[in-house]
Amino acid sequence: MYAAIASDLDGTLLDAQQTINALTADTLRAAAARGIHLIIATGRHVRDVQRLTAPLDLPISMITSNGARVHGSDGKLLQATDLEPSQVHQLVQPELARGSLMSVYQDEGRLSCVHEGYLLREGDPELGTRHDDLSGHDGVGVAKVLYTGHPDTLAEIEARIRQRLGEQVAVTYSQPDYLEVMAAGVNKGQALTRLLRRRGIALAQCAAFGDGLNDVEMLQAVGHPFRMANANPKLNALLPAVPQAGHHNEAGVAQQIRRALGLA
């Protein structure tokens, strides 16, 4: 039996329609009824998580922006780690972000700016308020900067970021076309470790599910890690010994939880 379950959203808990399907919802309710602490750990903004989980009406802790923000199951903010304003100033410059759609994550929402026209999902409200230029942003209160673009373009942007800021920032990919930058040391694993410590739950008693490179530290931290059948091949190569759960579009997380609870 698990004492806690932490799950990524996209490509993991959510199906191909970006929803929590009925089987997954019923399974999470069954887990909560047995006293298991539920945690969402995602690169998304906290508002996205609240919108997706509200219909469940369950106490769920939230690790968002890849660990830059942590909210307890009561909604209280427990941890906030921002990029330095000087770092943000460098990250939002057009010559660094060229070829991408750039999004700045703040508590009040997202700001977005297209550099040279790349737009993965035009009209998607999750991209935030559109701006023509963010180069003058004051850099205050920024949890994450996200670049959306072709993987080759993102590799070039990543190289420029590492050349300029090195180990001063944390860099990861939630998807091959999502490059994410947070403050140094920020990741889902450190956020989950702190959260479980507050709850008096051992990492060895926690299960975690993920499919992307931003899940590596979380899967390495817990006693019961699972990578999805649809996981990024780079994640599979990094963590070959981690057991595999089913495909996200076949309720792979729910199926694994149900087996653990004896519901399968």
One domain, residues 76 and 192 = yes
Domain final position from 183, 209, 231: 183
Half-sphere exposure of 70 (CA within 13 A, CB side): 18
The verdict on 91 and 121 lying in the same domain is yes
Query: Quick one: CA torsion of 228, 29, 72, 43, rounded to 10 degrees?
Result: 30
- What six digits make up the tokens of 139? 């850099």
At 122 the pLDDT is: 46
Final residue of a structural domain among 119, 151, 183: 183
Q: What is the pLDDT of residue 99?
A: 87
**Do residues 208 and 241 both lie within one domain?**
yes
Per the CB < 8 A criterion, the answer to whether 209 and 8 are in contact is: yes
Is the sign of the CA dihedral 6, 140, 85, 111 positive or negative?
positive
CATH of the domain at 166: 3.30.1240.10
Q: Are 174 and 194 within one domain? A: no
pLDDT of residue 126: 54
CA angle 70, 100, 144 (to 5 degrees): 15
Q: Alpha helix (H) ranges present in 117-232?
A: 151-165, 188-199, 216-221
Are residues 177 and 214 both part of a single domain? Answer: no
In what side-by-side order are the strands of the sheet with 178-183? 129-130, 109-114, 101-106, 142-148, 178-183, 169-175
By the 8 A CB rule, do 170 and 183 touch? yes
**Residue in 8, 48, 82, 211 annotated catalytic:** 8
177 an active-site residue? no
Structure tokens at 45: 């903004």
Overall number of domains in the chain:
2
CATH number at residue 210: 3.40.50.1000
C-alpha to C-alpha distance for 131 and 124, rounded to whole angstroms = 14
Q: What is the pLDDT of residue 120?
A: 47
pLDDT along the chain (264 residues), means of 10: 96 96 98 98 95 96 98 96 97 91 90 65 56 83 94 96 96 95 98 97 98 98 98 97 98 97 87
- The reply to whether 112 and 130 lie within a common domain is yes
Same domain? For 107 and 160 the reply is yes
Model confidence, pTM: 0.94
Same structural domain, 253 and 197: yes
Report which secondary-structure segment, H or E, holds 178: strand 178-183
Domain residue limits at 150: 85-183
How much is the pLDDT for 133?
A: 76
Q: Does residue 232 share a domain with residue 174?
A: no
- What's the CA gap between 144 and 95, in Å, rounded? 19
DSSP string, 91-104: HT-HHHHTTSEEEE
Q: Could you tell me the CA-to-CA distances from 81 to 50, 66, 183, 194 in Å, in that order?
A: 20, 11, 7, 13
